[in-house]
Amino acid sequence: AYYFEIPSDIDSMIDIALGNCFTYADVGVANDRHFVNVSAMGALIDVSQKTDPNLKNTIGVMAYYLKAVTEVPNLKAMPVKLITPEKTYEEEIFFMVVMNGISAGGFKQISPDSEINDGMLDVIAFRKMPVLELGPLLFNVINGNHSKNKHVLTFQTEKLRVESPEQVSTDIDGERGEE
CA distance 157 to 119: 9
Tens digit of pLDDT at every position of the chain (179 positions): 766 778 889 998 898 889 887 788 889 888 889 998 888 898 766 666 677 778 777 887 677 777 777 776 777 899 999 999 999 999 999 989 898 876 666 666 667 777 788 899 999 998 998 877 777 767 676 666 677 778 889 999 999 999 999 988 888 887 888 87
Pair 127, 153: CB distance under 8 Å: yes
In angstroms and rounded to an integer, the radius of gyration of the C-alpha atoms of the chain is: 17
Torsion angles phi and psi, residue 171, rounded to 5? -140, 130
In this prediction, residue 87 carries a pLDDT of 97
When the pLDDT of each residue in the chain is averaged and rounded to a whole number, the result is: 82
Residue type, 163: E
Q: Residue 152 and residue 45: Cα distance in Å, rounded?
A: 16
Q: How many CA atoms lie within 13 A of 38 on its CB side?
A: 27
pLDDT tens digits along 36-77: 888 889 876 666 667 777 877 788 767 777 777 777 677 789
Closest CA to 44 of 162, 143, 154, 141: 141
- Is residue 127 a contact partner of residue 91, using CB atoms and an 8 Å limit? yes
